[in-house]
Structure 1
Amino acid sequence: MKQFILLATGFLFTVNAFAQEKLPVIVPYNVYNYRDLYLDSVNRHTALKPILHEDTSALYQTDTTKRSWFHRKLFKEHLFEFRQPDYNVFIDFLPDLQLGKSNQNKTLWLNTRGARVQANIGKKFYFESSFFENQGMFPVYLDSFVARKRVIPGQGEVKFDPGEVPGESYDYNYVTAFLSYTPNHYLNFTLGYGTNSYGDGYRSLILSDVAFSYPYLKITANLGQFQYTSMWSQFMDLATKSFGQAYEGIGYDKKWGVFHFLDWNATKKLTIGLFDAVIWPDADTSGRKRGFDWSYMNPVIFLRPAEYSTGSSDNALLGMNIKYKIFSKTTVYGQIVFDELKIKELLSSDGWWGNKWSAQFGFRSFDLFKIPKLDLQGEFNAVRPYTYSYSNTRTNYAHYNQSLAHPMGANFKEILAIASYTYKRWYIRAQLNYANYGLDDPATDISYGQDIFKNYIKRPGDYDIRFGQGVKTDFLYGQGSIAFILNPKYNLRLEASAAARREKNSLETNQEFIFSLGLRSTFRQFYYDF
């Protein structure tokens, strides 16, 4: 990794040495300034993330206050900045140091040391790479998740033996990187190792950034009011092998995915997006190698006919994303995804098990009560039982033992609200989630459709399949945080946070209250609200 960063940085210093034009910095939007896109008077394409943009705000600025190097680096600048007329390079050290306590009589802590390199050559090339080395001790409910899944949510695998007692500290790494090439106003090519997200909500039922990083190639075309994206990805199936088996020289089973997304700004207020995807295994259940299926390489294609023409039973999904600005500072949005559907069965209202779909509706409001940067988001999500699952995990809609869509899997309804307020360098955020879902009964081997890593063969029946079937469970999660932003360049902040979680059903009640303090940085977003 070090050699790769040094080579990339050296390359940036040697190209385009004679260019004279002062070019802007090319950087990605982060989760905090996506609000600017929704407040723009022009209808922007906001569904596909991450989004790159030009930043001229800090180009060649001179610090007239004559502050010390330490003050500038702590409060205003990147740790290392190399700004030239034809390229820009930024290097940051990214700590995430937290100390906390759980009411389960457990001390919590996180020790993350990270580094990030960002660079652009002119307006056409942008490069970013980050690496994080982590050790931590987590709340009890996350211990339970790690014991089952062997991964830290969104951050990859831990070396955890099944016989080991949950609750010990974990050691894990997290890496992202991508190279973006924009030859002209109409095209962008991105080769990356990270995550992508489709949608305007906090959750995405189409493709979310919940799971761990994966390699991908993405081509995006912008033609007037249309934005069209094709993406090819490789995913990992951890469910079929143990940690030891995977490292006997054969690795984990792989699967492939192809995604198309057409986003149309139909009017100044309305945007409609159409989505399709296919997931297929690298090898079948007998071990016969299939590899990358070149029939899915055509970037302009309807995937369902292609999937049917291969003679295979790959996992195909269709979806739609809608956004409408009802007021200048309020936008409503929604999604619907069809994993499998028969119109006749849907209209019969008999609850046929194969009607697998998910739906979302939400809103974003900015500057509430005319208070600048007081924002509110509300969202409802519903996912039918067995949606995103398959007859085997090699083809389900998942990666690294986590869903590629919603972290709760399927067979649930959820409502959530997020309020945030920014004042100068102060940032306050509050979140509340309520969900109702049906879990599998541990006394039986029947799958009620919430766990997408279980096949749907052993289901309770073909009809009368309803939301929340199984062990009916109520879930409540609340989280609040207050932070003082030391350096907005890499979101270095002092943060205090409190969270409460309760999961209750007829079998047990799990409650946990967590409080933490920390020095944190980066714009990464991990989802622990499940």
Structure 2
Amino acid sequence: MIKKTFCVLLFLIGFTSVAQNNLFNEKPPVFPDCLTVSTDSLQQCFDSQVFKHIFNNFKVPDVVSENNYKGEVVVLFEVDKEGEFRVIYVDAMYNELKDETRRVFNEFPKIEPATYNGNATFKQYSMPIPIPLIDQSVKTKDLSEDDELTELEQGAKTEYDQVNQSLKPFSNREYTSQLNIPFTHSYYAQFERSVNLVGTNSHTGSKPFIYEDIAKYYDFEAQKQALMKDKSSFAGRKLWNERLVRVEGKGYWFTIDPIFDFELGKDTEADFNNTYNNTRGINIQGGLGKRFSFYTSFFESQGRFAQYYNQYAESIKAADEAAIIPGRGIAKAFKDNGYDYPVAEAYLSYTPADFLNIQFGHGKNFIGDGYRSLFISDAATPYPFLKLNVNFWKIKYTSTWTWLRDVRPEVEEDGAYLPKYMATHYLSWNVSKRLNVGLFESVIWNNANNRGFDVNYLNPIIFFRAIEFETGQGAGNALLGLSSKFKLNDNMNIYGQLIVDEFSTSDVSGGEKSWKNKFGYQLGYKYYNAFKVKNLMLQLEYNRVRPYTYSHNTIVLNYGHSNQSMAHLWGSNFSELVVIGRYHYKRWFGNAKLIVGERGLDFNDGTDNFSYGGDIYRNYNDRPFDTGVTVGQGNNTTSLFANIQAGYLINPATNLKLFADVTFRDFNPEVENTATRSSNTIWFNIGIRTDLFNWYFDL
């Protein structure tokens, strides 16, 4: 059967106008078979090798052969700075010809890129190929030389330029953009040392970080390149190295990727034994100009977890729903003992000036240097927010306004969840090259007296305590906080937080352990390249929060959202010790975590229905006594949580991971009731996940 094909136009965006016009310093892309030819013959050899590959690999679609089609096909393609071929545009009579053209060009081997003045660059060409395809000499044309193009070629190039606005080779502008770096503790641990070196004027308290801020201290591009696999095929590059769809043009770029979280596990405690998670989704992000970025992701999920986790999810369920998956959202019942929980997150990020970034979206925030945060954590489900980041001199100032909700049946209004609002300020100051100090304040209010979103709290530099006194204590719940971090050296730092909900100096000095002393604190230590082992990070952290912290006598003004705490996921009335180790080598990684804690829960047995200060959603006026209040009071509960995880990073561009882990949890309340049960769990789990957020199973 006589081979036939179509006309292939190869398009490559010029490196610079000088590179396009100065022919004496240019060298075209070089195939291995062309390494021995003279410089003057390199372009002719390149043309010959391109056509030879097309002639030997192109398979004419049946529909084209059956119709005895004769003509040309126009294709634009590029050879980029890495020497890889990429089709940009194809114009053909049949869609089958277009598809076959893309397939053939995806199979081109990686070659030496074109050079200009000794530096790698990319080139653009045009190659008209007649159909039927015959073994003949076909010459490519440099698309920068418009006067040499045929009318058909020029028409295709003009149409492409108009539609695609001068597409460029993808340059990973994400790594210097205004986009947030997806916040996972394991990923942040990989570059935190670079950001925390002694003398760096960085601010690590407000998370998630923005790429352009961290890019001053950490080269994301270089780190990703170091992990690249030598893959030339389209499927190989997309699986191991690249985002699925990546487009860059003049003044814009965007990427599109699938999201996966497929897990299978076994819980030794549960009657049904098997656990699973099945998440499919899509992630879209990009930028317009140099100062505007956007991000959106949607997750459609069904899952069933370890029994203790399912019981907790059902205990905090919304009105008329099956459960709330902690950190994710409201869930409906799915098949046998499963949950269906869709989640959507998105935001717009705009930097009108070098010192100011504005974000508006639906997601989560975190303030602190620890594994936990006593200010704002990412333990609750996503919420709408508006955030301002101001960065100048040695100061970073973050103001955030969020729209929260109370989903309990007893506070529903006309069948709708009760809205409430929160405003926060966080001032981070690098006092010296080693010491950072942060000041935090937050206030929560609701729609009392139909005031809606109170404009008093819109001022980004006002003190919330003063407004609370002015509008009445029942109008809002204000908290104050202090944080600090000290860099012992490039590899070690200590950090801490102090949160104050209410504090009575006279009661503290009286030594009676008054309930009014509602505060908590955190102390932590991080050790990078621990014991001179590169990429090993060790972390030790202690958290302690007194009873009734974060709660309020107007129960909708508690420091919570969707039946979850906006700070530590244990609420209050607890102490815990956290030990974490993280290690990565090339694409391999391992994490270990141990948490030992003591909590004071409520009895709720029909006889003793007092609030002992652990449940922030209860009215603190339901307390059993005013003095003698201690951490762990009430239904004293001890817990131990241990997790070991190991895995392999499949794709560093999307953070797609293959992993396996085992969790051990021992939970021992003094008294069991319907909401608090003893538990001894071993949970085995394997999966493949696009790792974009933190899961907290250490309840």
Q: TM-score when scaled to structure 1?
A: 0.90
**Which of the residues 325, 328, 341 maps onto 1:155?**
328
More divergent stretch after superposition (423-432 vs 520-529): 520-529
* Residue in 1 that maps onto 2:451: 290
More divergent stretch after superposition (86-95 vs 24-33): 24-33
Deviation at 1:442, TM superposition (A): 2.5
RMSD: 2.5
Q: Distance in 2 between matches of 1:315 and 1:458?
A: 18
Q: Distance in 2 between matches of 1:438 and 1:307?
A: 30
Counterparts of 1:395-414 in structure 2 under 5 Å?
395-414=557-576
Q: Distance in 1 between matches of 2:372 and 2:462?
A: 27
Secondary structure, in 3 states, of the residue corresponding to 1:457? Answer: helix
**Which of the residues 483, 486, 494 maps onto 2:650?**
486
Deviation at 1:14, TM superposition (A): 8.9
Counterparts of 1:421-432 in structure 2 under 5 Å?
421-432=583-594
Q: Is the 8 A contact 1:24 1:123 kept in 2?
A: no
* Residue in 1 that maps onto 2:487: 325
More divergent stretch after superposition (388-397 vs 185-194): 388-397
Structure number with higher strand proportion: 1
Structure number with higher helix proportion: 2
Cα deviation digits, residues 373-410 of structure 1 (max 9, x gap): 11111100000000011123311000011000001111
Q: Is the 8 A contact 1:23 1:87 kept in 2?
A: no
- 1:306 matches 2:306: no
Q: Is the 8 A contact 2:547 2:630 kept in 1?
A: yes
Bigger relative contact order, structure 1 or 2 (CA pairs below 8 A, ≥6 apart) = 1
Q: Distance in 2 between matches of 1:335 and 1:17?
A: 50
Q: Distance in 2 between matches of 1:479 and 1:86?
A: 45
Q: Is the 8 A contact 2:231 2:237 kept in 1?
A: no
Tell me which amino acid in the other structure corresponds to 2:400.
M
Residues 207, 65 of structure 1: CA spacing in aligned structure 2 closer, same or farther, 3 A cutoff? closer
- 1:194 matches 2:363: yes
**Which of the residues 497, 500, 503 maps onto 1:335?**
497
Q: Distance in 2 between matches of 1:393 and 1:497?
A: 39
* Residue in 2 that maps onto 1:529: 698
Deviation at 1:525, TM superposition (A): 0.4
Structure 2: which 5+ residue stretches go unaligned?
A: 1-161, 318-323, 673-677
Counterparts of 1:32-71 in structure 2 under 5 Å?
32-33=187-188, 35-40=190-195, 41=197, 42-54=200-212, 58=221, 67-71=232-236
Residues 64, 235 of structure 1: CA spacing in aligned structure 2 closer, same or farther, 3 A cutoff? closer
Q: Distance in 2 between matches of 1:189 and 1:334?
A: 27
Identity over aligned pairs, percent: 37
* Residue in 2 that maps onto 1:232: 401
* Residue in 2 that maps onto 1:434: 596
Secondary structure, in 3 states, of the residue corresponding to 1:445? Answer: coil
Q: Is the 8 A contact 1:38 1:331 kept in 2?
A: no
- 1:384 matches 2:538: no
- 1:349 matches 2:546: no
Secondary structure, in 3 states, of the residue corresponding to 2:313? Answer: helix
Q: Distance in 2 between matches of 1:482 and 1:263?
A: 35
* Residue in 2 that maps onto 1:462: 626
**Which of the residues 24, 35, 39 maps onto 2:173?**
24
Q: Distance in 1 between matches of 2:587 and 2:309?
A: 31
More divergent stretch after superposition (329-338 vs 36-45): 36-45
Q: Distance in 1 between matches of 2:426 and 2:253?
A: 31
Structure 1: which 5+ residue stretches go unaligned?
A: 1-12
Question: Rg: which structure is higher?
Answer: 2
- 1:96 matches 2:261: yes
Deviation at 1:123, TM superposition (A): 2.6
* Residue in 2 that maps onto 1:216: 385
Q: TM-score when scaled to structure 2?
A: 0.69
Cα deviation digits, residues 440-461 of structure 1 (max 9, x gap): 1122111100111111112111
Residues 457, 350 of structure 1: CA spacing in aligned structure 2 closer, same or farther, 3 A cutoff? same
Q: Distance in 2 between matches of 1:431 and 1:178?
A: 31
- 1:126 matches 2:290: no
* Residue in 2 that maps onto 1:418: 580
Secondary structure, in 3 states, of the residue corresponding to 2:508? Answer: helix
Q: Is the 8 A contact 1:365 1:375 kept in 2?
A: yes
Tell me which amino acid in the other structure corresponds to 2:244.
L
Q: Which stretches of structure 1, 4 residues or more, deviate above 3 A after TM superposition? A: 13-24, 54-61, 63-66
Secondary structure, in 3 states, of the residue corresponding to 2:556? Answer: coil
* Residue in 2 that maps onto 1:83: 248
Counterparts of 1:107-126 in structure 2 under 5 Å?
107-126=274-293
Residues 103, 37 of structure 1: CA spacing in aligned structure 2 closer, same or farther, 3 A cutoff? closer
Deviation at 1:64, TM superposition (A): 11
Residues 342, 240 of structure 1: CA spacing in aligned structure 2 closer, same or farther, 3 A cutoff? farther
Q: Is the 8 A contact 2:544 2:574 kept in 1?
A: yes
Residues 57, 497 of structure 1: CA spacing in aligned structure 2 closer, same or farther, 3 A cutoff? closer
